[in-house]
Structure 1
Amino acid sequence: MKNFAARDKNIKPVGRLEFVIGLVRDEDSSMATRAAWLHYAGGLTQSEVAKRLGLTSLKAHRLIMKANQEGLVKVYIDGEVSECVELEQQLSARYGLNYCEVVPDFDADDLPLRALGIAGAQFLKREMERGEAMLIGVGHGRTLAASVEYLPRTNNRHVRFVSLLGGLTRKFSANPHDVIHRLAERTGAEAYVMPVPFFANTVEDRDVLFSQRGVREVFELAKTADLLIVGIGTAKRKASLVSTGMIEASEIEEIEASGAVGEMLGHFFDRHGKPIETTLSNRTFTLSREELSNRRMVAVVGGKIKADATRSVLESRLLSGLITDERTGRTLMERAP
C-alpha cells in the first residue's frame, strides 16, 4: 500500500513536476529532441535554446512544439491529492489491497485511457528503477497498451517481461492488446511471448499446442513472475475480446447469460467475485486461478464502462493492487455493500 501518513485534508501537496524526454533515433526529430531537452530538462528559455542551437526564436519554438506533438515529452507529477489518498485508503480497506493508486479525472471519455496510461507508466517506471532483477508478467488490454505508450524509453537489462496469456487474434490487423513487443522495444529488456491464440478451438487443440516446444516453457516462466500487470474486461458484446476477434459474439453472449460480469486473464467472475465456468474455461491459454492466487498482481483499469467488471474482479480477492481513476474509485465505493 502507498505510505498513507496522516495529513491535513485541506493542504494540497505541491509535489514535483517531472519531464521525461524520450530517446529518438529519427534524424528529422533529433533537433526537436535536443531543443526539448534543453528547454524542459535544462531549464533554458526558448530564446536561450535558440541561441544555444543557433536558431531563430520562432524555429526553436516550433521544434519544442514538434517534440510535444510527437509524444517525445512525457510529463509525470510526483505528488498526492488528498481526496485521492483518502479514496485509496477506503478502497484498500474495502477490497483487501496492498497497493492502491487513484488519479484525478481529466478524461471526458467513458474509458480514461490517458489518465490510466500515465499512471500505469509511472508505476512501471518506479518498479524498473528499483534496480533489482525482476520478471514482470503482462496481460493485455487498452489500458496496458496506453501505459506502454506513456512509458519513456530506457535501458533496463535487469528486467524481463513475459506474456501471461496467448496473444494471437483472429484479426491480425486489430491486435492493439499485445504490449510485450512494445515494452521490449521501449525498455531494451528481454521479452517472452506465447505464440498461441487466447483460446483454442477445442480442448484437444489446446493440449497439442501446449506440447509444442517453447510454449510450455513460457507458461512455466510466467508462473514465476515477481509482478503481474493486468487489465480487466467486461462480459458484454462490445468487450475487447470480441472486437479483436479473440472470441465470437455468440460466445460472450453465452458467458454473460451465465452471470459473468468481469474478466481478467481469460477468467470470468460474477458480481460477487465468484468464478464462472464457461465453455472456454478448458480452452484458455493462461494461468489458472490457483496459479494467480497470492500473487503480487496489479490491475490498471477504470472508466464508467468498466466499473461493474472491476468490482466483480476485486470481489474475487485475486488482486493485490489497483490503479484507477477518481470517478471509478468513487463508483466502486458507492456500489460496495
Structure 2
Amino acid sequence: MSDVRPIDAHARSPEIDLSIRAAWLYYVHGLGQEEVARRLNLSRSKVTRLLSQAREAGFVKVSVEHETVESLALADWISNHFGVEEVILTPFARPEIADRAAADRAGRQAVGIVAANHIARRLLASGRITVGLGWGRTVSEMITALPALSKPDLTLVSLLGASSNDDGSGSYSLALKFAAATGGRAHTFAAPLIVDDPAVAALLRQDGAIRETLAIAADSDFHILGVGDVSMDNLYFAAAGLGSETIRGLKEVGAVCEIAGRFLDRNGRPAATPLNDRTLGIDHETLVAADVIVLAAGRRKAEPLEALLKAGIPRTIIIDDEVAQALAERAARRGEPAPASA
C-alpha cells in the first residue's frame, strides 16, 4: 500500500502527476513495471525513473500520499463498476467559478490538458499510426493543449461528415487542426454530416471515396471522441440544423446519449431514431469494436457517459471530477455499491 503526500497545487506538473499514477499502479495495484509501462504507454526505463522520482520526492513511503489518491480510488471504482479498461480523472480541482459557462470551460480545459499528455505519449510510443477523430469542444481543447511534437507518420481520419454550421469543433475541422499541430496528414470525410433521407445516406455510403474513408476509420489504431447529451447544448444539433422538435422526438424514444452522431438509450442500446441512419459517419458496430478514448467534462455528461459505458464502447475515459462524482451519486441513488463520498 502507498501514501501520497499532498503538494502545493502550483508545484504540480504533468511529470509529477505521471509519477503518482505510476506509483499508484505499481505499489497499490501491485502491477509489474512492464504492465505499468503498457498501461501508461511508456518505456519500462521511463517507469523506473518515475518510480524513483516518486520515492525521492517523498510521495512514496509505506503508502502513497498525495491529494490525487481520492481521485485515483474513484477512478478505480468507475473502472470496476462499469467494466471500463482505463479511467483517468483530471488531477486539478475545479476552481470556484460562479458563472456556469466559465466553470464548464475550465472543466473542458482540464480534461483537454490531461488527455493531450496521455495521447501524446501514445503517439510517441508508436510508429506509423492512424487515429480516428470525433468532435466536440473537449476534443478541441485536447488538440490545443498538445505538447509540441512532430509525427509525420500520423494519419488523422475524421469519423463524421462535414457541416456548413461547423464552429471549429466538427470532426472535419479537428482532423485538420490535429494534423497541423503534429505534422501529420488529415483524411477528411468527403460527405455531409446528415441528409434528409436514410435511403440517400445508404447510397452515399456506397460511394468509393466514402467507402475508403469508412474503411480507414474502421482500421484506425484508436479513436478520440467526445460524448453529448440530448439537448441544445450539444453542438451536434446546431451542426446538423436540427432544433427542439427533434430533441423532443429523441427523448420520446428514450435517447440520452450522442456519440459520433449515433444515439443510444440509457441502457446503451441504439435508440429507435432515423437520425442513426441519416447521419454519415462510422456505424455502431465499428464503435463497439474500436479502441475508443472518450473525453467528457461537466455533470450533464454523466447520464450519456453512463449509457456509453453500458454499451461497452470506450476502453479509456478521461473525465473531470464533476462527471466522476455524478456517476458515483447516480449509482448510490440506485442502491448500487458506490464510493463512500458519493
TM-score (structure 1 length as normaliser): 0.74
1:300 maps to which residue? 295
2:80 maps to which residue? 93
Letter in 2 for 1:211: Q
Residues 18/329 of structure 1: CA separation in 2 closer, same or farther (3 Å cut): closer
2:339 maps to which residue? none
Provide the aligned length of Structure 1 versus Structure 2: 270
Is the Cα–Cα contact under 8 Å of residues 11 and 82 in structure 1 kept in the other structure?
no
Residues 211/273 of structure 1: CA separation in 2 closer, same or farther (3 Å cut): closer
2:104 maps to which residue? 110
Letter in 2 for 1:17: S
Residues 187/246 of structure 1: CA separation in 2 closer, same or farther (3 Å cut): farther
Task: Give per-residue Cα distances to partners, 1:137-159, cap 9 Å, x unaligned.
Answer: 11101100111111133210232
* Higher alpha-carbon deviation: 259-268 or 174-183: 174-183
Is the Cα–Cα contact under 8 Å of residues 198 and 274 in structure 2 kept in the other structure?
no
Q: In 2, Cα distance between the equivalents of 1:91 and 1:18?
A: 23
Q: In 1, Cα distance between the equivalents of 2:227 and 2:170?
A: 12
2:115 maps to which residue? 120
Residues 215/158 of structure 1: CA separation in 2 closer, same or farther (3 Å cut): same
CA positional deviation for 1:18: 5.7
Task: Give per-residue Cα distances to partners, 1:6-54, cap 9 Å, x unaligned.
Answer: 422x5347997369xxxxxxxxxxxxxxxxxxxxxxxxxxxxxxxxxxx
* 1:161-180 alignment, distance < 5 Å: 161-166=156-161, 168-172=162-166, 174-178=167-171, 179-180=174-175
TM-score (structure 2 length as normaliser): 0.73
Tell whether 2:320 aligns with 1:325: yes
Q: Structure 1: state its 5+ residue gaps.
A: 1-5, 20-78
Percent sequence identity over matched residues? 24
Whose helix proportion is higher, 1 or 2? 2
SS at match of 1:268: strand
Is the Cα–Cα contact under 8 Å of residues 218 and 290 in structure 2 kept in the other structure?
no
Q: In 1, Cα distance between the equivalents of 2:245 and 2:133?
A: 27
SS at match of 1:261: strand
2:176 maps to which residue? 181
Task: Give per-residue Cα distances to partners, 1:218-249, cap 9 Å, x unaligned.
Answer: 11100001111110001113321123345343
- 1:269 pairs with one of 257, 260, 264: 264
Is the Cα–Cα contact under 8 Å of residues 227 and 259 in structure 2 kept in the other structure?
yes
Q: Structure 2: state its 5+ residue gaps.
A: 16-65, 98-102, 337-342
CA positional deviation for 1:293: 1.9
Letter in 2 for 1:171: N
CA positional deviation for 1:117: 1.3
Letter in 2 for 1:95: F
1:32 maps to which residue? none
Two-structure CA RMSD over aligned residues (Å):
2.3
2:218 maps to which residue? 223
CA positional deviation for 1:80: 8.0
Residues 214/333 of structure 1: CA separation in 2 closer, same or farther (3 Å cut): same
Q: In 1, Cα distance between the equivalents of 2:79 and 2:71?
A: 12
